[in-house]
């Protein structure tokens, strides 16, 4: 009986170590069709919840088994599926998606929704609007451009700053600071 358990344990150890040895670390880079890096591209193993995100230079690292399929996606690009190679490096080129996001809003979790389908308000201030104004402080340029936004100007001088208050001073969570996304 002991011998059978010992043999079964050794057999299981051999099977699991063989399966574990097949996984390898894949270092890759995601670029667009012009060779520019695609920052924060999502790299996920199809059929699993394992995934990672590329850094600002488009570089990523993921542990996968050769033969598995990776799905690489990023906002503004067409999704691409690639088989995990036997090599430890992988370069992926994403093609730009010609569909525009005019009526879409990308939420905090990266989920695309129609602008009418989300339950909260969003506002956009274009770069042309901001560049046409003559205020030296960008925050002060937002005065009167966003509904419910109050700019409290700080002291003057080189160290002066402004405080942004969105929709009043009261908050359930103690923070009423807006999220400003600069798409450069």
pLDDT value at residue 134: 64
Q: Which domain holds residue 174?
A: 123-184
Split at pLDDT 50, 70, 90, the class of 114 is low
Summarize the confidence of residues 39-51 as an average pLDDT.
89
CA 101 to centroid of chain Cα atoms: 16
Tell me if 174 is assigned to some domain.
yes
Tell me if 14 is assigned to some domain.
yes
Summarize the confidence of residues 170-178 as an average pLDDT.
66
Tell me if 106 is assigned to some domain.
no
CATH number for the domain that contains residue 43 = 2.60.40.1120
Split at pLDDT 50, 70, 90, the class of 71 is very high
pLDDT value at residue 137: 67
Tell me if 114 is assigned to some domain.
no
Q: Of 51, 79, 94, at which residue does a domain stop?
A: 94
Strand partners, 149: 166
* Residue 1, pLDDT above cutoff 80: no
- Between CA 90 and CA 5 the distance in angstroms is 43
Tell me if 107 is assigned to some domain.
no
Same domain, 86 and 47: yes
CB–CB of 81/70 below 8 Å? yes
Average pLDDT, the chain: 75
Contacting residues for 59 by C-beta, under 8 A, at least 6 apart: 27, 28, 29, 37
Summarize the confidence of residues 130-156 as an average pLDDT.
69
Split at pLDDT 50, 70, 90, the class of 149 is confident
Q: Whole-prediction pTM value?
A: 0.48
Number of domains making up the chain:
2
């Amino acid at each position: 009986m002991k011998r059978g358990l010992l043999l079964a344990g050794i057999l299981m150890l051999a099977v699991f170590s063989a399966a574990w040895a097949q996984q390898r670390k894949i270092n890759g880079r995601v670029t667009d069709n012009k060779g520019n890096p695609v920052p924060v591209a999502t790299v996920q193993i199809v059929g699993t919840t394992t995934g990672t995100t590329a850094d600002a230079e488009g570089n990523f690292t993921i542990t996968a088994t050769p033969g598995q399929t990776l799905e690489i996606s990023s906002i503004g690009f067409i999704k691409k599926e690639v088989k995990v190679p036997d090599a430890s490096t992988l370069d992926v080129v994403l093609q730009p998606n010609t569909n525009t996001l005019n009526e879409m809003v990308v939420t905090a979790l990266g989920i695309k929704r129609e602008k009418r389908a989300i339950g909260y308000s969003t506002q956009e201030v274009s770069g042309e609007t901001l560049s046409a104004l003559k205020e030296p402080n960008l925050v002060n340029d937002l005065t009167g451009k966003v509904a419910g936004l109050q700019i409290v100007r700080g002291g003057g001088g080189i160290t002066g700053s402004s405080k942004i208050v969105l929709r009043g001073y009261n908050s359930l969570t103690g923070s009423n600071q807006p999220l400003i996304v600069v798409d450069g």
